[in-house]
Amino acid sequence: MAGGREHVCRHVGIIMDGNGRWAQARGLPRTSGHLEGLKTARRIVEAAGKLGLSYLTLYVFSTENWKRAQGEVDFIMGLVKAHLLREMDFYRENGIRIRHAGDETALNADIRAELRKAMDQTKNFPGLQVVLALNYGGRDEIVRAVRRAAAAGVGAGGLDEKGLSSFLDNPDIPDPDLIVRTGGDFRSSNFLLWESAYAEFAFSPKFWPDWTEADLRDALADFGSRERRYGDTKR
């Protein structure tokens, strides 16, 4: 898309950072921060639907997060599983469709089964699509896309940008318009590397558990005031 007057934000990706520091600042274990972070995620999903977004990608667990203490990894996976198990009514009432980005194969069989069930049961829901980036890495997604292309008989010589995009995890989902990172750092941390080529970025100093609907509104309002040129010149 050339030109720079397109301000509709359909897809937001969020790097939900700061759970551990939120907890540590209160003298609580890091796991309390993740529990609070899950509550925030639920509130932001609700708000995103209300604010008219079509897609929300949440960076739940990266390919690098396996390096954390086993207890913390198990806790996060347990939270995700419990969320998927318990929130079917919430998805139904809000018409939310659950999707996944990342490498499913390294996930425990029980999480994988819950994820598949949630995706299957919500596949015809017409509202917000929530993409859970779980065991997700941007570089890993690109490598898996190249492998899928090769498996489909598409050699390197036959690949162009559009072709490679069609082998990504969710080729039907438009690129994110806005990537938000909470927690005060200014990094992409391997999140949606390919898809964020033309995304706007917003950084919030707040820890994820403190993030609110008002923060999402502010980020969207700021997005609306920016000019997106996609490499084109100002007209």
Query: Annotated active-site positions, please?
Result: 17, 65
Instruction: Please report, as ranges, the residues that interact with ligand FPP according to CB under 6 A.
Output: 16-21, 34, 37-38, 41, 58, 60, 65, 76, 79-80, 83, 132, 183
Q: Which is nearer to ligand FPP, 14 or 149 (CB)?
A: 14
Q: Which is nearer to ligand FPP, 132 or 173 (CB)?
A: 132
Pick between residue 20 and residue 49 the one whose CB is nearest to ligand FPP: 20
Least CB distance from residue 162 to ligand FPP, whole Å?
Answer: 31
How near is the Cβ of 93 to ligand FPP at its closest, in Å? 17
What is the closest distance, in whole angstroms, from the C-beta atom of residue 185 to ligand FPP in the complex? 8
Q: What is the 3-state secondary structure (H, E, C) of the chain?
A: CCCCCCCCCCEEEEECCCHHHHHHCCCCCHHHHHHHHHHHHHHHHHHHHHCCCCEEEEEEEECCHHHCCHHHHHHHHHHHHHHHHHCHHHHHHHCCEEEEECCHHHCCHHHHHHHHHHHHHCCCCCCCEEEEEEEECHHHHHHHHHHHHHHCCCCHHHCCHHHHHCCCCCCCCCCCCEEEECCCCCCCCCCCCCCCCCCEEEECCCCHHHCCHHHHHHHHHHHHCCCCCCCCCCC
For residues 26 and 226, which CB has a smaller minimum distance to ligand FPP in the complex?
26
Q: How far is the CB of 103 from ligand FPP (least distance, A)?
A: 16
- Cβ-proximal residue to ligand FPP, closest one: 20
